[in-house]
Amino acid sequence: MGKAPVRVLITGAAGQIGYSLAIQVSRGTMLGPEQPIILHLLDIPPAAQSLDGVKMELIDAALPLVHGVLATTDVEEACKDVAIAVMVGGFPRKAGMERKDVMSKNVSIYKSQAAALEKHAAKGVKVLVVANPANTNALILRENAPSIPPENITALTRLDHNRALGQVAERLGVHVSGVRNVIIWGNHSSTQFPDVAHGTAGGRPIPDALRDEAWLRGDFVSTVQQRGAAIIKMRGMSSALSAASSACDHVRNWVLGTEPGTWVSMGVISDGSYGAPKDVIFSFPVKCEGGRWEIVQGLSIDEYAAGKIKVTGDELVEEKELALQCLAGE
Say whether residue 20 binds ligand LMR (CB under 6 A).
no
Say whether residue 90 binds ligand LMR (CB under 6 A).
no
Task: Tell the smallest beta-carbon distance from residue 242 to ligand LMR (Å).
Answer: 7
DSSP alpha helix (H) spans, 173-236: 206-210, 213-217, 219-225, 227-235
Binding site residues for substrate, as ranges?
93, 99, 132, 163
Question: What are the backbone dihedrals phi and psi of residue 257, each rounded to the nearest 5 degrees, phi first?
Answer: 100, 160
Q: Which residues contact 182 (CB under 8 A, 6 or more apart)?
A: 161, 164, 165, 168, 194, 195, 196, 199, 206, 265
Residue from 210, 231, 311, 324 binding ligand LMR (CB under 6 A) = 231
Residue from 239, 246, 253, 312 binding ligand LMR (CB under 6 A) = 239
Residue from 93, 161, 250, 252 binding ligand LMR (CB under 6 A) = 93
Q: Are 90 and 14 in contact (CB under 8 A)?
A: no
Say whether residue 14 binds ligand NAD (CB under 6 A).
yes
Say whether residue 136 binds ligand NAD (CB under 6 A).
no
Cα–Cα dist 122/78, whole Å? 12
How many CA within 13 A on the CB side of residue 164? 30
Residue from 8, 11, 258, 283 binding ligand NAD (CB under 6 A) = 11
188 classed as catalytic: yes
Question: What are the backbone dihedrals phi and psi of residue 12, each rounded to the nearest 5 degrees, phi first?
Answer: 65, 30
Binding site residues, as ranges?
12-18, 43, 93, 99, 106, 130-132, 163
**Residue 201: which H helix or E strand, with range?**
strand 200-201
Q: Looking at 32-40, 228-236, 246-254, 303-311, which segment touches ligand LMR (CB under 6 A)?
A: 228-236
Q: What is the 3-state secondary structure (H, E, C) of 13-49?
A: CCCHHHHHHHHHHHCCCCCCCCCCEEEEEECCHHHHH
Residue from 191, 238, 246, 258 binding ligand LMR (CB under 6 A) = 238
Q: Which residues are paired to 129 by β-bridges?
A: 87, 155
Say whether residue 12 binds ligand NAD (CB under 6 A).
yes
Binding site for ligand NAD (CB under 6 A): 11-12, 14-18, 42-44, 47, 88-90, 92-93, 109, 130-132, 134, 156, 159, 188, 238-240, 243
Catalytic residues: 188
Binding site for ligand LMR (CB under 6 A): 93, 99, 132, 159, 228-229, 231, 238-239
